[in-house]
Amino acid sequence: MIKSIRNPLAIRSSGLFEDSLNQPFAGIFETYLIPNNHPDPNVRLEQLMDAIKLVYASVYSPIAKGYIEAVNYRIEQEKMAVVIQEVVGHRYDDVFYPHISGVAHSYNYYPFAHMKPEEGVAVIALGLGRYVVEGEKAFRFSPKYPNLEINTPTDQYKGSQLHFYAVDLKKENVNLLEGEDAGLRMMDIDVAEEHGTLKHLASVYSLENNRISPGLNQPGPRVVNFADILKYNFAPLAKTVEVVLDVVKEALGTPVEIEFAVDLNKDDENRASFYLLQIKPLIGNLTDYNVDMSKINPAEILLFAEKEMGNGHVEDIHDVVFVDPDTFDKEKTQEMAEEINHINHEYFKAEKKYVLIGPGRWGTRDRWIGIPVNWPQISQAKVIVETSLEGFPLDASSGSHFFHNVTSMNVGYFSIQPELSNSFIRYDVLKKQKNIRKTKYFSIVHFEQPLSIRMDGKQRISVITWKQDKQQDTNK
């Protein structure tokens, strides 16, 4: 294999734990990308064998152990294959990457306008897919309605991709012990423009008239919105994703997630290439539960969300862990991740669950758009709430490995954007409850009466209510 393939290689796992139909998890075990370009084939073989060993060894990593503990899985039950894939893309100077990488779900937990949840959603970015699955700023679209603008021009500009990942071909002697990023390089998108790979992917934002113009002919900030592909059909990506999702969903008999890559270099018949890299079942509790807001006392509403995933009624949670928006500092998100890890561990030992509230995206790799936790660090949260704050806008986390794992565990996942909807959180009520503990960044409060958490998957709304005292509860 080493003799016949000279492009970079991706070495990844396919384990029972992460690919099961009943409770699939994503991104638990390591994936290594190696340049595979050393002049000596024996060195390239050694690098490949090291990568295979490290993928197997990642079963025992702290993150994998955390996942396994969270779902009471026995590590000795795990069986794993290792998959070797040729990386999609081309060489540009001393790096290698595809035009587009993406993730698509056959079920859209955040439908917009006239979208239906079962019509699916896709998230794409320039460069390697690492950027998408780790929850960074990528472009979201509906395969059914690729022309539909989900965000305003200003929000598209603010939320546009600024950098991308590529395989670093300078690293002939890659040291894989540095971790999954050992063979990668992160670069600004202006480098892609120099390579010519941004040509069909970006548009230009005009600050003067708040308008986005397709193509790169004008001066101004670049917005990676894939207009030439999604609006003008340079390559039929939206239709391809729609068909593939439909076929795979039918075959597995369950909602699915796919990972894919696209090479826009046309063949002799003027066709671009679509590569299907991975398929996973996307298990969520899609059973019906109806929330009738007319029967809920507005004075008892602690939280209301018009964007959510999850279904059902939870009535055994007393504790809320939240970041106080008045003291939130977006420069300290990494410290917050460490702190919530300790809090979560205490709840794990006590075998208790809690509601978690915080700004921006939970589980992102980009510390400037959310708190960069991994799933084991918040595994005891029964409901996870993401909120927008001034200067810290929120774009729902669909598309990341973290998001996939939340759906698999059937955790309630709410998005609160007061500036765009009727959603709200009553922080005044939270601050009046019994304060169990206040850490540097988090407050932990306890409600005497259990919270009532109602999640309506069809209407896409959720509401959490509270009782003021036992007497009031008896009267009702």
Within this chain, do residues 394 and 446 fall inside the same structural domain, yes or no?
yes
Calpha distance 432→428 (Å, rounded): 7
For the ranges 245-249, 276-280, 369-373, 416-420, the lowest mean pLDDT is seen at: 416-420
**At 137, which CATH number?**
3.30.470
Within this chain, do residues 220 and 311 fall inside the same structural domain, yes or no?
no
Q: Residue 238: pLDDT band by 50, 70, 90 thresholds?
A: very high
Within this chain, do residues 10 and 61 fall inside the same structural domain, yes or no?
yes
Q: Mean pLDDT across the chain, nearest whole number?
A: 84
Whether the per-residue pLDDT at 35 is higher than 60: the answer is yes
Greater confidence (89 vs 390) lies with 89
31 falls within a domain: yes
Q: Residue 240: pLDDT band by 50, 70, 90 thresholds?
A: very high
Within this chain, do residues 143 and 204 fall inside the same structural domain, yes or no?
yes
Within this chain, do residues 398 and 421 fall inside the same structural domain, yes or no?
yes
For the question of whether the overall pTM of this predicted structure is more than 0.75, the answer is: no
Q: State which of 254, 281, 308 marks the end of a domain.
A: 281
400 falls within a domain: yes
Whether the per-residue pLDDT at 408 is higher than 70: the answer is no
Within this chain, do residues 120 and 268 fall inside the same structural domain, yes or no?
yes
State how far Cα 183 lies from the chain centre.
Answer: 22
Within this chain, do residues 455 and 364 fall inside the same structural domain, yes or no?
yes
Domain count, the chain: 3
Within this chain, do residues 207 and 308 fall inside the same structural domain, yes or no?
no
Average pLDDT score over residue span 346-366 = 88
120 falls within a domain: yes
Within this chain, do residues 93 and 61 fall inside the same structural domain, yes or no?
no
151 falls within a domain: yes
Name the residue range of residue 463's domain: 293-475
pLDDT of residue 409: 65
322 falls within a domain: yes
Top mean pLDDT of 390-404, 415-429, 438-452 is at 438-452
179 falls within a domain: no
pLDDT of residue 351: 86
pLDDT of residue 302: 92
